[in-house]
């Protein structure tokens, strides 16, 4: 009988403590996550150089949809680069995970070393690859020359597609490891008995992969590929640290393009309103991509249930 | 039977061959950077056909350390990473603890709002508004801005890991502490926090990797204050300056200074690294 009120009072003071403990983080969270979204919503209807602002209605959107071809080009580049490199990265990561899952001698060593690129700064990755692929004193050209693959140095960064190839290679190098580890963890959860009974039935390894492995790791596969797609479309550091959009803006991706308008970076004038409108449209496109992806891979996600 | 064994040996050899090829590709750029940092600048600029330096020289490091401000950049990086790691350990464990064990009105609604922010994440698209908010509070000209945003900005991945980990701690421990007269905060401080060592190791490693390697946000916050630049920003500054063509030695030495601590931490704690990087995303 006497315990009740004491416990109640205690709960109340404990609730207050809980709120006080979490308050700084909640303030920070709303300030740095939700307020910026409203900021972008508001400024997409304004013209602003960071100091003065004028309401211009839908003009920013009109400009994007009718006059700013470079925005759509940068968006297109982000898609080409992302899907091009993921077409290599995802199968490579899955294949390596399958190899590492074989429990052969030395796989512990390989797992640690193959994951190494994933801990390295994306900006540093961009820098190192642009040095390695430099046309005159870069080591890649020298290696290709010495095996007779090319007869004169390739100037990788003066052509759009060869520059995109280097960016894709650098990004695969930097990111395959994390996907590999996700796949490996999923593979380790597949019950061994399934393979044993398949062996008894004399099923070949390729059929085993499609009949057992892929359905069993389906849900993980779906999420990993989604994160890889969204992450790649948001690629920023790698581009800024290597080509920075060169030659002539041909390797600009959507994130770097919008970033440069926000901050007036790289010789552009600060255009906060225009950049906000682009950020808004980009955000909507990213959400649509995720939605379409999830709808179309529905089967994969539900494979084992 | 013999045929079967022969096939097995063959496929084993193929697997080792494939793993070795990827292994070489994985470490080549790292070795290229580390060895390159010991090459003379003349060698770097006129030849490019060797991985190993003709002659090991330490000049690049001396020059980077003394003349190119890299001692300052390194100190800035250490300061920023240490502050973010320490701050995040506290903010994330508190957030995880409150959302798991706390009771207050609107908790579930707030949690939903926090989690749903994952779906409207715009990445670097919101960097400008974040920067303007920091400017409003006068923290936009030093690394303190980055630290405050990272520590109080509540990283959803870390929150998930922390909440899931605290859930595994038996609630009876809380109850007996409550009977002994501990308040909600005291239970966190005296009972729960000391039990979180593996979680703390995971968060520390994740945050160290993130903050040590981060480029865009610290770059924006130190744009007008080069003395506060962390290493990565300092290195990139060399690249975008007019002297990029002749400062390969500094860029390689700087990159090595940035790489070595990261690789050392990784090789020592690789198990926590791999577990930590996967923990949040799978549960999230």
3-class secondary-structure state, position A53:
strand
Nearest chain B alpha carbon to A99: B15
Q: How far apart are CA A78 and CA B141, in angstroms?
A: 31
Partner residue opposite B266 with nearest CB, options A22, A116, A137:
A116
Residues from chain B that touch A36, judged by Cβ atoms under 8 A, are 122, 126, 129-130, 133
A217 touches chain B (CB under 8 A): no
Query: Which has the higher per-residue pLDDT, A299 or B165?
Result: B165
Contacts of B45 in chain A (CB under 8 A): 137
Residue B171 has pLDDT above 50, yes or no: yes
- How many angstroms separate the CA atoms of A245 and B118, rounded? 28
A186-230: pLDDT as tens digits: 888 888 888 888 888 888 878 888 888 888 888 888 888 998 999
Q: Is the pLDDT of residue A2 over 50?
A: no
* Contact: A131, B178; criterion CB under 8 Å: no
- Residue A60: what pLDDT? 84
Answer whether B133 touches A (CB < 8 Å). yes
Rounded-to-integer distance, Cα B216 and Cα A78, Å: 18
Query: What DSSP string runs through A267-281?
Result: TPPP-HHHHHHHHHH
Contacts of B36 in chain A (CB under 8 A): 131
pLDDT of A49: 81
In the numeric block, which tokens belong to residue A45?
A: 């209807």
pLDDT for residue B284 is more than 50? no
Report angle CA A135, A138, A139 to the nearest 5 degrees: 135
A37 touches B: beta carbon within 8 Å: yes
- At B25-47, the pLDDT tens digits run 999 999 999 998 888 887 877 77
Give me the residue from A25, A132, A236 closest to B216, CB to CB. Answer: A236
A209 touches chain B (CB under 8 A): no
Q: How confident is the model at residue B242 (pLDDT cuts 50, 70, 90)?
A: low
| B72 pLDDT more than 70 | yes
Residue A304 has pLDDT above 60, yes or no: no
Closest-CA distance, A303 to chain B, in angstroms, reads: 17
pLDDT (0 to 100) of residue B282 = 46
Contact list, B192 vs chain A (CB under 8 Å): none
How confident is the model at residue B3, as a pLDDT? 67
* Size of chain B in residues: 284
Interface test with A, best of B128, B221, B272, B280 (most A CBs within 10 A): B128
Q: Do A111 and B110 touch (CB under 8 A)?
A: no
Contact criterion met (CB < 8 Å) for A137 and B45: yes
- B104/A18 CB distance under 8 A: yes
Average pLDDT, integer, range A43-48: 87
Band of the pLDDT at A1, cuts 50, 70, 90?
Answer: very low
A240 touches chain B (CB under 8 A): yes
**pLDDT recorded at residue A8:** 55
Mean pLDDT of B244-265: 87
B6 SS3 class:
helix
Size of interface A-B (CB pairs under 8 A): 255
Structure tokens at B218: 């610290």
B16 contact A CB<8A: yes
B contact residues 166-185, partner A, Cβ 8 Å cutoff: 178, 183-185
What is the DSSP secondary-structure string of B150-176? HHHS--HHHHHHHHHHHHTS-HHHHHH
The whole-number pLDDT of residue A7 equals: 52
Q: How far is CA A87 from CA A80, A81, A172, A184, in A?
A: 11, 10, 10, 19
Helix residue ranges, H only, chain B: 2-36, 41-46, 59-66, 70-101, 107-116, 127-136, 143-152, 156-167, 171-179, 184-186, 197-213, 216-222, 231-240, 248-268, 270-283
% of chain B with per-residue pLDDT over 90: 39
Distance in Å, alpha carbon of A81 to nearest chain B alpha carbon: 18
Q: Give me A132's structure tokens.
A: 């390695």
DSSP string of A213-256? IHHHHHHHHHHHHHHHHHHHHT--HHHHHTTTT-STTTT--HHH
pLDDT digits (tens, 9 = 90+) for B94-103: 999 999 998 8
**pLDDT score of A117:** 95
Task: Please indicate if any CB of chain B lies within 8 Å of the CB of A208.
Answer: no
pLDDT-derived band at B283 (thresholds 50, 70, 90) equals very low
Decide if B248 contacts B47 (C-beta within 8 A).
no
Does the pLDDT of residue B279 top 70, yes or no? no
B36-69 as b/e: b if 16+ CB within 10 A: bbbbbbebbbeebeeeeeeeebeebbebbbeebb
How many other C-beta atoms can be found within 10 angstroms of the C-beta atom of residue A194?
A: 15
Taking the model in full, what pTM does it have? 0.88
Question: Which residues does residue A55 pair with via DSSP β-bridges, in sequence order?
Answer: A46
- Shortest CA distance to B210 belongs to which of B269, B158, B144, B267? B158
Say what the alpha-carbon torsion angle A38, A40, A46, A52 is, to the nearest 10 degrees.
90
Are B49 and A118 within 8 A, CB to CB?
Answer: no
Residue B120 sits at the chain A interface (C-beta within 8 Å): yes
CATH 3.40.30.10 at A59-301, yes or no: no
User: Residue A120 and residue B148: Cβ atoms within 8 Å?
Assistant: no
User: Cβ–Cβ of A15/B110 closer than 8 Å?
Assistant: no
**pLDDT mean over A26-35:** 91
Residue B57: predicted pLDDT: 84
Average pLDDT over chain B, rounded to an integer? 87
Q: What is the pLDDT of residue A3?
A: 47
B209, B236, B239 member nearest A119 (Cβ): B209
- Residue B262 near residue B209 (C-beta atoms within 8 A): yes
Would you call A96 and B19 a contact, using CB atoms and an 8 Å cutoff? yes
pLDDT in tens, B190-241: 999 999 988 898 888 889 999 999 999 999 999 888 889 999 999 888 887 7
Q: How far is CA B138 from CA B85, B141, B145, in A?
A: 23, 8, 9
B152 neighbourhood in chain A, CB within 8 Å:
24-25, 27-29, 32
CA atoms within 13 A on the CB side of A249: 15
């Amino acid at each position: 009988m006497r315990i009740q009120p004491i416990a109640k009072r205690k709960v109340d003071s404990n609730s207050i403590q809980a709120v006080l403990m979490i308050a700084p983080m909640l303030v920070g969270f709303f300030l740095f996550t939700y307020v910026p979204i409203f900021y972008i919503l508001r400024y997409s209807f304004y013209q602003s150089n960071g100091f003065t602002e004028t309401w211009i209605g839908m003009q920013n959107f009109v400009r994007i949809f009718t006059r700013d071809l470079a925005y759509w080009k940068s968006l297109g580049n982000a898609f080409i680069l992302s899907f091009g490199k993921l077409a290599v990265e995802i199968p490579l990561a899955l294949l390596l995970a399958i190899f590492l899952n074989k429990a052969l001698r030395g796989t512990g060593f390989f797992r640690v070393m193959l994951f190494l690129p994933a801990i390295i700064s994306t900006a540093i990755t961009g820098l190192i690859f642009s040095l390695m692929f430099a046309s005159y004193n870069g080591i890649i050209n020298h290696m290709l020359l010495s095996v007779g693959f090319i007869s004169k140095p390739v100037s990788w960064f003066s052509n759009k597609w060869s520059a995109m190839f280097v960016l894709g290679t650098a990004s695969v190098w930097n990111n395959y490891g994390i996907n590999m580890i996700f796949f490996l963890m999923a593979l380790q959860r597949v019950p061994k008995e399934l393979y044993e009974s398949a062996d008894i039935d004399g099923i070949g390894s390729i059929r085993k992969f499609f009949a057992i492995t892929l359905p069993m790791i389906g849900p993980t596969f779906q999420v990993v590929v989604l994160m890889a797609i969204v992450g790649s479309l948001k690629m920023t550091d790698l581009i800024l640290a290597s080509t920075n959009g060169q030659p002539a803006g041909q390797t600009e991706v959507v994130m770097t393009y919008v970033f440069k308008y926000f901050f007036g970076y790289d010789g552009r004038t600060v255009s906060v309103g225009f950049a906000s409108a682009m950020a808004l449209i980009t955000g909507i496109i990213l959400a649509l991509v995720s939605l379409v992806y999830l709808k179309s891979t529905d089967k994969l996600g539900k494979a084992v249930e | 039977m013999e045929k079967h064994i022969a096939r097995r040996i063959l496929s084993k050899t193929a697997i080792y061959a494939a793993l070795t090829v990827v292994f070489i590709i994985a470490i080549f750029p790292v070795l290229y950077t580390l060895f390159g940092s010991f090459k003379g600048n003349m060698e770097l600029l006129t030849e490019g056909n060797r991985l190993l330096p003709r002659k090991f020289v330490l000049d690049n490091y001396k020059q980077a350390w003394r003349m190119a401000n890299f001692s300052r950049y390194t100190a800035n990086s250490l300061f920023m990473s240490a502050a973010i790691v320490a701050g995040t350990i506290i903010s994330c464990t508190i957030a995880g603890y409150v959302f798991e064990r706390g009771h207050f009105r609107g908790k579930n609604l707030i949690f939903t709002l926090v989690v749903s922010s994952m779906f409207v994440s715009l990445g670097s698209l919101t960097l400008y508004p974040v920067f303007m908010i920091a400017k409003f509070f006068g923290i936009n000209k030093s690394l303190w801005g980055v630290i405050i945003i990272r520590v109080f900005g509540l990283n959803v991945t870390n929150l998930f890991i922390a909440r899931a980990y605290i859930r595994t701690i038996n609630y009876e421990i809380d109850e007996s502490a409550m009977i002994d007269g501990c308040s909600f905060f005291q239970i966190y401080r005296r009972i729960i926090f000391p039990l979180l060592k593996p979680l703390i190791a995971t968060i520390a490693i994740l945050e160290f990797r993130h903050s040590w390697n981060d480029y865009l946000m610290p770059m924006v916050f130190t744009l007008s204050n080069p003395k506060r630049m962390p290493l990565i920003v300092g290195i990139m500054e060399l690249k975008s300056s007019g002297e990029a063509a002749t400062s390969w030695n500094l860029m390689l030495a700087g990159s090595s200074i940035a790489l070595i601590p990261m690789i050392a931490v990784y090789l020592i704690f690789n198990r926590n690294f791999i577990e930590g990087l996967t923990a949040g995303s799978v549960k999230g």
